[in-house]
Amino acid sequence: MAEPVSTERIGNVAIVEIDNPPVNALGSLIRQHLEDHVRAALEDDGVDAVVLAARGKHFSGGADIREFGQPSTGPDLPGLIARLEAADKPIVAALKGTVFGGGFELALGCHYRIADSSARFALPEVRLGLLPGAGGTQRLTRLIGPEAAVKLIVTGEPIDAREALSLGIVDRLDDGDPREAAIAFAGEIAKTRPLPRVSEMTDRIAAVDPVAFDAVAERFLAANRGLTAPRACVASVRNAFTRPFAEGLAEERRMFAELRGSDESRAQRHLFFAERAALKVPGLDATVKPRPVQKIAVIGAGTMGGGIAMSLASGGYDVTIVDQSDDALTARLQAIAGLYRKSAARGASAAEGETALARISSTTDFAAAVGGADLVIEAVFERMDLKKQIFGELGTLTKPGTVLATNTSSLDVNEIAEASGRPGDVLGMHFFSPANVMKLLEVVRGDKTDPDALATAIEVGRRSGKIPVTVGVCFGFVGNRMMAARTRQLDAMLLEGASPAEIDAEARRFGNAMGPCAVSDLAGLDVGYLVRKESGRRAYVIDAIAESGRHGQKTGKGLYRYDPGDRRPIPDPEVDTFIDALALQAGVTRRPIPDDEIGERLVYPMINEAARILEEGIAARPSDIDLIWISGYGFPRTKGGPMFHADTIGLPTIVARLDELAERTGSEELHPAPLLRRLAEQGGSFGDMNGS
Ligand code: T1G
């Protein structure tokens, strides 16, 4: 194996190069080697300047996240960076590709920074529930000023090399090899003194208006309510212009250590790895290549079809929306254009929106549209007869090899696949409404789906900005099947005595932006009612309310009532009276339900259903289920998803509570699934299953 850090001498310049694929993460071994190589170079009398470079496409993806929570060895990153900066010979960073997190902080400790145009700079620690913990909040603020620094640090968003040059992060942009450019630059400045040390810079922090800074910071905090790390980031940047460097650095380190040990950060670090693990699909190894896709036909000009088309177009695909009605198509294209205009008004790139819009066409000529497509995504009504008819036609009208996807949210993909006559080409691509916004894509693998067809759907999803999670066939797949388990409890609690407002208040306290009753009114009570009806299921209270004509926001009344033009849910005594009558009819004596019981009955049944899903092999690992609920249903990121949250609570606690609830409510399904009970009895966790 190549040395993780090497040194080459060219004239009076020593090039210290990191080689730690895939992202040059700065783990303890790398830090130790870096320390040794840089010290040797600085002590070498023949060396007048040092270049710090890296092999591969990334300079560095930052500290090694896998090491957090493990006993740390080798020099800590802040100390290593401080010693680089204190060196008496110039150190020039040669930057390219990703310069993220601790990698960025390492570059800030160097005296000069040379980059090529591929370089992207970010401090994404906030997305892991952390703050830059190796001097980044103190040095970046001194280098580019508090307002520019707080934006980068609180959003975690990357900037490109050109912006980095304009901000003063980079001294020189060179379109050649940054290593060569840095060597040449090092030769030029080898004797130049004083050495520019970022920690000693004061002009950008000399006369900061704290009120103006707070106003800018507040703008970025507004999008992160309830999260601890963004506030810590702002506090640390504020320290950079109100306290001496050493104090600011010490306080940054203290806050970093506190955040690193928090459940909130552990949860977000879990999700970072969960996103990558979800792409490791059993049976799909690197030899399985996606089929080429450029032309995609989307069948159905409804809201879902339009949202799907927008996502695909933004991913660079040529999309044709197909519908029987010209009017529906015209209306849909106008709605899509309007959405792109709205995005541009909110700061998105108008040019990108226009480019994407230009990729979307429409037609009523079904045969022509699907005949030329590499992928067809059906997004029509949730009716099995209609879908089977369409897939029967697709099986004969499309080219061999065209992937045929259904956007069904719960129906049997195997049955639809058989109707096509080409089950190997058929799978589900379950987008979540609004499909142009929600990140989750459940890729539903049929019993006969060809591996390369599956790889194709995953690749199209990724290119379209989605988080594709592969699931198996069952009613509701993973997300909706777990939501159905929660809905059964929600419906039971409404009958037993809880009000929609009490249920939603508990869900918001848990961290959900909206409670499930308000969400049901937003989506339309008739939607869930029709899905359940199509499959012979029934929610006793909610479906009775839907049948009474109360469909939610769209009819001004649902589980709540709504003033005209106002989407705010208002508790409605009519609903209480309606449910009282249902309870009487059902012989149920209603009772107040304690908040903690509401909270448990909203979450534990989902965890239990997920255990069944894992037992049946419908999901490959618990972290896939976490990803589904975080990216498709707004489960609080700070909780890491239902399975991570279950481990945090402790499985024995959940098992004991589920048994109690099952006994008291008579709801057999609440008894723990065998897998859940077994894990609890053996002291295991869902986390143990993620490695598999
Ligand atoms: N630590 C450990 N492993 C990492 C890693 C990291 N920082 N970054 C990536 N990996 C793994 C990843 O799990 C995957 O593993 C493989 O590398 C390829 O990743 C002190 C404390 C750099 C833009 O948050 O954003 O520095 O699945 O598929 O698409 O202040 O990885 O192959 O087993 O994503 O080319 C801050 C996180 C850390 C950056 C490359 N840094 N990484 O994207 O590859 S905290 C980050 C990324 C920190 C300091 C603080 C991306 C990337 P596997 P990949 P990619």
Atom number, ligand 1, closest to the C-alpha of residue 273: 13
Structural domain includes residue 229 = yes
Structural domain includes residue 32 = yes
> From the CA of 186, how far away is ligand 1's center (Å)?
29
Atom number, ligand 1, closest to the C-alpha of residue 100: 41
> From the CA of 158, how far away is ligand 1's center (Å)?
14
Structural domain includes residue 256 = yes
Whole-number mean pLDDT of the chain?
Answer: 95
Residue 92, pLDDT > 60, answer yes
- Residue 64 Cβ inside 6 Å of ligand 1? The answer reads yes
Atom number, ligand 1, closest to the C-alpha of residue 260: 21
Same domain, 535 and 599: no
> From the CA of 61, how far away is ligand 1's center (Å)?
5
Same domain, 74 and 207: yes
Residue 573 sits in a domain whose CATH number is 1.10.1040.10
Closest CA to 675 of 663, 688, 691: 688
Of 569, 586, 603, at which residue does a domain stop? 586
CA-to-CA dists, residue 248 to 141, 253, 429, angstroms: 11, 9, 49
**Tokens 């988080």 found at:** 467
Taking only the tens place, the pLDDT of each residue in 500-513 is: 999 999 999 999 98
Is-contact 96 59, C-beta < 8 A?
yes
Strands ordered across the beta sheet of 403-406: 360-363, 318-322, 295-299, 375-378, 403-406, 426-431, 440-444, 467-471
Same domain, 9 and 47: yes
Is-contact 309 319, C-beta < 8 A?
yes
Same domain, 13 and 88: yes
Tokens representing 599 are 């909270």
Residue 532, pLDDT > 90, answer no
Closest CA to 240 of 225, 227, 255, 228: 255
Strands ordered across the beta sheet of 159-160: 98-100, 120-122, 159-160
Structural domain includes residue 270 = no
Q: Which domain, by its residues, includes 619? A: 478-497+591-692
Same domain, 445 and 519: no
Closest CA to 271 of 526, 637, 574, 548: 637
Distance CA 317, CA 407 (A): 18
**Tokens 């339900």 found at:** 593
Angle between helices 595-615 and 500-510 (to 10 degrees): 70
Model confidence band, residue 175 (pLDDT cutoffs 50, 70, 90): confident
Same domain, 442 and 574: no
Residue 5, pLDDT > 70, answer yes
- Residue 80 Cβ inside 6 Å of ligand 1? The answer reads no
- How many domains does the structure of the chain reveal? 4
- Residue 63 Cβ inside 6 Å of ligand 1? The answer reads yes
Tokens representing 64 are 């090694």
Tokens representing 589 are 């004596």
Taking only the tens place, the pLDDT of each residue in 577-593 is: 999 999 999 999 999 99
H helix count then E strand count, the chain: 30, 17
Residue type, 109: G
Closest CA to 255 of 238, 270, 268, 269: 238
Distance CA 599, CA 154 (A): 31
Residue 692, pLDDT > 60, answer no
Same domain, 458 and 486: no
Residue 647 sits in a domain whose CATH number is 1.10.1040.50
Closest CA to 404 of 435, 430, 427, 386: 427
Closest CA to 228 of 249, 258, 208, 207: 258
Question: How many Cβ atoms from other residues are within 10 Å of residue 81's Cβ?
Answer: 26
Same domain, 604 and 522: no
pLDDT of residue 72: 78
- Residue 476 Cβ inside 6 Å of ligand 1? The answer reads no
Residue 458 sits in a domain whose CATH number is 3.40.50.720
Distance CA 258, CA 279 (A): 31
Question: How many Cβ atoms from other residues are within 10 Å of residue 130's Cβ?
Answer: 30
Taking only the tens place, the pLDDT of each residue in 480-504 is: 999 999 999 999 999 999 999 999 9
* Percent of the chain's residues with pLDDT above 90: 90
Atom number, ligand 1, closest to the C-alpha of residue 132: 30
Helix (H, G, I), strand (E, B) or coil at 146: helix
Indicate which residue's Cα is closest to atom 1 of ligand 1.
Answer: 64
Of 217, 234, 260, at which residue does a domain stop? 260
Taking only the tens place, the pLDDT of each residue in 414-465 is: 999 999 999 999 999 999 988 999 999 999 999 999 999 999 999 999 999 9
Structural domain includes residue 286 = no
Helix (H, G, I), strand (E, B) or coil at 442: strand
Model confidence band, residue 1 (pLDDT cutoffs 50, 70, 90): low
The pTM of this model reads: 0.92
Cis amide linkage into residue 672, ω under 30° from 0: no
Taking only the tens place, the pLDDT of each residue in 652-677 is: 999 999 999 999 888 899 999 999 99
Is-contact 321 329, C-beta < 8 A?
yes
Residue 2, pLDDT > 80, answer no
- Residue 22 Cβ inside 6 Å of ligand 1? The answer reads yes
Same domain, 241 and 319: no
Average pLDDT value for residue range 585-609: 95
Structural domain includes residue 280 = no
Helix (H, G, I), strand (E, B) or coil at 7: strand
Of 586, 613, 630, at which residue does a domain stop? 586
Is-contact 136 107, C-beta < 8 A?
no
Q: Which residues contact 153 (CB under 8 A, 6 or more apart)?
A: 123, 125, 126, 131, 132, 136, 137, 140, 233, 236, 237
Q: Which residues contact 369 (CB under 8 A, 6 or more apart)?
A: 297, 320, 322, 363
Same domain, 453 and 484: no
Taking only the tens place, the pLDDT of each residue in 294-333 is: 999 999 999 999 999 999 999 999 999 999 999 999 999 9
Structural domain includes residue 625 = yes
Angle between helices 516-523 and 500-510 (to 10 degrees): 110
Query: 596 burial class (0-12, 13-18, 19+ CB within 10 angstroms)?
Result: exposed
> From the CA of 60, how far away is ligand 1's center (Å)?
9
- Residue 423 Cβ inside 6 Å of ligand 1? The answer reads no
Same domain, 571 and 595: no
Taking only the tens place, the pLDDT of each residue in 538-571 is: 999 999 999 999 999 999 999 999 999 999 999 9
Residue 225, pLDDT > 90, answer no
Structural domain includes residue 529 = yes
The DSSP code for 223 is: G
Same domain, 83 and 104: yes
Is-contact 542 494, C-beta < 8 A?
yes
- The runs of H, that is alpha helices, within 346-450 are 350-358, 366-371, 384-397, 413-420
